[in-house]
Amino acid sequence: MYVGHFAIGMALKARYPDVPTPPILLGVVFLDILAGIFIVLGWNQVTPNLQALPYLYFDLTFIDWDHSLLAAIFWSIIWAVCFIKHKRVAIIAGIASFSHFLADWPMHNNDLALFPHSDYHLGMGLWNQFGIGSWVLEGIFSTVLLIYAFSLFRKRGIDLT
């Protein structure tokens, strides 16, 4: 899920227009930013797999330091603390960051640990179940959220076109 994370960010921005955009839109992808850094550092591990459709072409072998439930909570709190001078911004930033885990849960293929090195993993595996069709599912999800966001913007007299 990629576009879906940004669609969640747009919906949050529409719902909380007084909150600056960067804490929200960077928040919804904060876990993926960390994942990239942690892969480069060797803390996370991915394995090439050209059969791993439809998104990645690799298996998320170990992504526990950023995408486990406990890590997502931890990093979302850290992200929120970055904006602690403004309590409302901090809360929405934390929600935006944690929304990433919630959106990944149905899509990921049982590779979201409860905590780093946990034997128990989460993920409903819609990537595997629907393959390329999961793009359609994400598109529908994103469209619904963007319609919601645009309708809220329109009610406030904000024209985004």
pLDDT in tens, 107-118: 888 889 999 999
Nearest C-alpha neighbor of 103 from the set 28, 30, 160: 28
Structure tokens, 98: 């944690």
Q: Token match 């024209």: residue? A: 159
pLDDT at 102: 95
Strand 58-62 relative to strand 112-113, pairing: unpaired
pLDDT at 53: 63
Q: Token match 């780093």: residue? A: 116
Nearest C-alpha neighbor of 8 from the set 30, 31, 25, 33: 25
Q: pTM above 0.85? A: yes
Is 48 in contact with 60 (CB distance < 8 Å)? no
Residues in the chain, pLDDT under 50? none
